[in-house]
Structure 1
């Protein structure tokens, strides 16, 4: 349902129109792009590196904080030093179940009512040197540096692998949070998403909306949606400037083919590192 006077725009899957490319990120607060724009060939020279990322995604552990959602994930931190062009992964904490884990927070800035410490299994060390993963991460960083004067501050990166998986018809896998939302952070916080694989599922539609729509579902009559689209091809992606928009990905369900289905993405959150003294 579209409200009178709404800014809602529906984008087709060819990613044309407002929100395309880095200029869209600057002008509208969100952007879409595909593998070609990234200079990546997922079916050719980069196929082996993409297959290695997919292999890790296929074996992601269940989300420990959302049982029954059919969501699986790993997460790690990295720091980029612009003046050295140096990217460094931050070591995790030893864990008896997962080997190593990383602290994770999502919009948890309320110091008066802090949430209990949450941790997620780390991105495997063997994947951190994957050339394609590093190219994606550095491409995202380049977009942020082109928009913000951050050349004299470390840039903090949260690197997230998420799989929504269903085993049979009738199951539903949901993202977190399951509504339009913002990730929280400074006015220089950006989030990038790259589709790793999508097999035998329906749904998973992305929606970009106004900040005031956070907390609503896209179909809510009060939601003011800018764009709706579905990532379908390998390394299809989008970016959001967090404080300027809200965003959402819908549940996925089993497709028409026999066997399981899944949607795996790489999420990269970028923000200036802020020391606490």
Structure 2
């Protein structure tokens, strides 16, 4: 930590408001006795080098090799249709968060990607068990299930292309070619209907997703319409459990996903991450922020 003398270093930047309402400056390195902000790494286009070096990276449609309003437009529209009808997150009531979740398995030696079938459910058709981190056999967590991704969307060419791109990045970083990879695929929408209403992610603080040291998380923006907020923050692992504006939070980067297929990746055990609430924008009608989240980790035998 700094020596407490309140040293502050500022570079050329643009001011903006951060998740806590405090004024942030993009591309600024700020150091004082309470809080540190780092500008290194993770910029758009940094790709694998930034993910390898800093534990996080940003990317956009160009890095993915996809033109959202070109040949992928029809598939993107199909994904958005499913997001528009997502059911409420049963484990985050009152947050205006909507969600579906399924698991895919990738076999590197066969280049084979397949979806794990869900469990029949009287309300949602099928559901998939969801957990974060390792369960404690002495004090097991209550079983949690989430509504499955619809069968029709599982074959969407753009969804599969994004999923395979994420897997390729992990395989380039880790020697996992002889182990099955699990991919937890989340469809998450934060939606607001009127001015003054907020939609909040969960957990509503800097956090890590849990799991092994080979766990990676990728985010791809599907759409963002008539909302403000939703800033992403990447910080140190020791900042987990804190808010971005807390005095001891140690921030690496803050940014907002705005364009279709804007995204970021994190190496989970090396950073913590957060997305701020979204609120209705200035236009009439509802607003939303829809993001595809893919968590990838190697299969760990339990025998």
Q: For this structure pair, what is the TM-score category when the shorter chain's length is used for normalisation?
A: over 0.9
In structure 1, the residue matched to 2:149 is 123
Does 1:61 find its partner at 2:90? no
Alpha-carbon distance in 2 for matches of 1:227, 1:91: 38
Residue from 188, 199, 203 that aligns with 2:225: 199
User: Gapped runs of 5+ residues in structure 1?
Assistant: none
What secondary structure, in the 3-state scheme, does the structure 2 residue paired with 1:168 have? coil
Alpha-carbon distance in 1 for matches of 2:282, 2:293: 27
In structure 2, the residue matched to 1:32 is 58
Which structure has the higher relative contact order (CA within 8 Å, separation 6+)? 1
Alpha-carbon distance in 2 for matches of 1:275, 1:150: 14
8 Å CA contact 1:107–1:182 kept in 2: the answer is no
Alpha-carbon distance in 2 for matches of 1:8, 1:50: 35
8 Å CA contact 2:83–2:188 kept in 1: the answer is yes
8 Å CA contact 1:3–1:221 kept in 2: the answer is no
Residue from 271, 275, 293 that aligns with 1:267: 293
Alpha-carbon distance in 2 for matches of 1:148, 1:235: 24
User: Gapped runs of 5+ residues in structure 2?
Assistant: 1-21, 23-29
In structure 2, the residue matched to 1:180 is 206
Alpha-carbon distance in 1 for matches of 2:46, 2:100: 29
8 Å CA contact 2:135–2:141 kept in 1: the answer is no
Alpha-carbon distance in 2 for matches of 1:192, 1:156: 13
8 Å CA contact 1:179–1:214 kept in 2: the answer is yes
Does 1:132 find its partner at 2:161? no
In structure 2, the residue matched to 1:163 is 189
Alpha-carbon distance in 1 for matches of 2:294, 2:72: 19
In structure 1, the residue matched to 2:106 is 80
Larger radius of gyration: 2
Structure 1 residue 241: Cα displacement: 0.1
Structure 1 residue 262: Cα displacement: 0.1
8 Å CA contact 1:10–1:229 kept in 2: the answer is no
TM-score (norm 2): 0.87
Alignment of 1:225-236 (within 5 A): 225-236=251-262
Alpha-carbon distance in 1 for matches of 2:238, 2:141: 24
What secondary structure, in the 3-state scheme, does the structure 1 residue paired with 2:89 have? coil
Give a deviation string over 1:70-117, Cα, whole Å, max 9, x none: 000000001000000000100000000000000011235444332210
Residue from 54, 63, 70 that aligns with 2:96: 70
Change (3 A) 1:122 1:249: same
Structure 1 residue 66: Cα displacement: 1.4
Residue from 23, 32, 37 that aligns with 1:4: 32
Alignment of 1:197-276 (within 5 A): 197-276=223-302
TM-score (norm 1): 0.95
Alpha-carbon distance in 1 for matches of 2:48, 2:140: 35
8 Å CA contact 1:78–1:157 kept in 2: the answer is yes
Alpha-carbon RMSD across the aligned residues, in angstroms, is 1.8
